[in-house]
Amino acid sequence: MTGATASRVNRWVDAAWAERFLSERDEIPHRADGFAALLEVLPERVGRVLDLGTGDGFALSMVLGERPGASGVGVDFQPAMLARAAERFDRDDRVELIEHDLDLRLPDSLGIFDLVVSSFAIHHCSPDRQRSLYAEVYDLLEPGGMFVNLEHVASPTRALHEEFLGAIGKTPEHDDPSNQLVEVVPLLGWLVEAGFTDADCLWKWRELALLTARRP
Ligand SMILES: C[S@@+](CC[C@H](N)C(=O)[O-])C[C@H]1O[C@@H](n2cnc3c(N)ncnc32)[C@H](O)[C@@H]1O
């Protein structure tokens, strides 16, 4: 199943949808707090970092800003996003950008990393794929490597979901049909099932959550 051909909706195949997100994302409440929490948990030494669903490279650039000696790979399936990322990283030979659909197995050619990050991207895959992707991330990490996933997670109830939408200035009619949200507890369980240790939710505001785990 690919994002482009699946019967379910993934609006991110549409360049205009992606561009609209880029123009609006700074207005998402507490988004900056989530990224601050992500930066706070970065390992002291990072050699190679992978950013899944990198978009315009926002999270990858933050990580490289904090760990300038690292090199990075950004993966996304949306060409318009990758073009924005290429602009952002112009002439930065630490960065490689790869077009890949996260609904498909991660390519072996990516190599091995000591840090895998993702911000607000993996929840566009089906829950089954999120679970298998966590296992693939584990396989891509060096022993001791970290997975840091700033994610959009499910509310436990419809009422809380609608409160979340209200808090970000949206109504249920304007909910993103691409979202395949999963609650924090099963997500943490899938990390443990994949073999990770220290799986935890270290920051959360309503449906925005920072999930972290380490490969033993
Ligand atoms: C909400 S944006 C987040 C972008 C960026 N990580 C950020 O935090 O600003 C979601 C990103 O996931 C990407 N995405 C969605 N579904 C994908 C898929 N199946 N494969 C690869 N990328 C996907 C979109 O193209 C988009 O760049």
Within-domain flag for 79: yes
Which of the listed residues 10, 20, 102, 126 should we mutate to test ligand 1's pocket, taking the one with most ligand atoms within 8 A of CB?
102
**Listed residue (79, 11, 71) closest to 47, CA to CA:** 71
Residue 114 inside a domain? The answer is no
Ligand 1 atom closest to the CA of 77, numbered from 1 = 21
Supply the DSSP symbol for 178. Answer: T
In a domain, 157, yes or no: no
Provide the 10 A C-beta neighbour count for residue 211. 25
- Number of domains the chain is built from: 2
Same domain? 134 vs 197: yes
Question: Which of the listed residues 33, 97, 120, 149 should we mutate to test ligand 1's pocket, taking the one with most ligand atoms within 8 A of CB?
Answer: 120
136 and 103 fall within a common domain: no
Domain that holds residue 83: 30-36+45-108
CA distance 15 to 79: 8
Structure token pair of residue 143: 């022993």
The verdict on 104 and 137 lying in the same domain is no
Whether 77 lines ligand 1, by a CB cut-off of 6 Å, is yes
**Does 101 share its domain with 139?**
no
Distance CA 56, CA 106 (A): 19
Residues across the chain: 216
Ligand 1 pocket, residue 119 CB under 6 Å: yes
What is the structure's pLDDT at 22? 95
The answer to whether residue 125 is domain-embedded is no
Mean pLDDT for each consecutive 10-residue tract of the chain (216 residues)? 55 94 95 98 98 98 98 98 98 97 97 98 98 98 98 97 95 91 98 98 98 98
Within a domain: 68: yes
For residue 71, tell me if it sits in a domain. Answer: yes
Task: Please state the atom number of ligand 1 nearest to the C-alpha of residue 55.
Answer: 27
Q: Under a CB-based contact definition with an 8 Å cutoff, are residues 204 and 183 in contact? A: no
Nearest residue by C-alpha to atom 10 in ligand 1: 121
On whether residue 209 sits in a domain, the answer given is no
Question: Are 140 and 196 in a shared domain?
Answer: yes
Burial code (b: 16+ CB inside 10 Å, e: under 16) for 18-53 equals beebeeeeeebebbeebbebbeeebbeebebbbbbb
Closest by CA position to 154, among listed 95, 201, 208, 98: 208
Is 214 part of any domain?
no
Nearest ligand 1 atom to the CA of 103 is: 19
Query: Residue 124: how many CB atoms within 10 A of its CB?
Result: 24
Give the closest residue (by CA) to ligand 1 atom 14. Answer: 53
Shared domain for 101 and 138, answered yes or no, is: no
Cβ 124 under 6 angstroms from ligand 1? yes
pLDDT of 8 reads 75
- Provide the CATH number for the domain around residue 55: 3.40.50.150
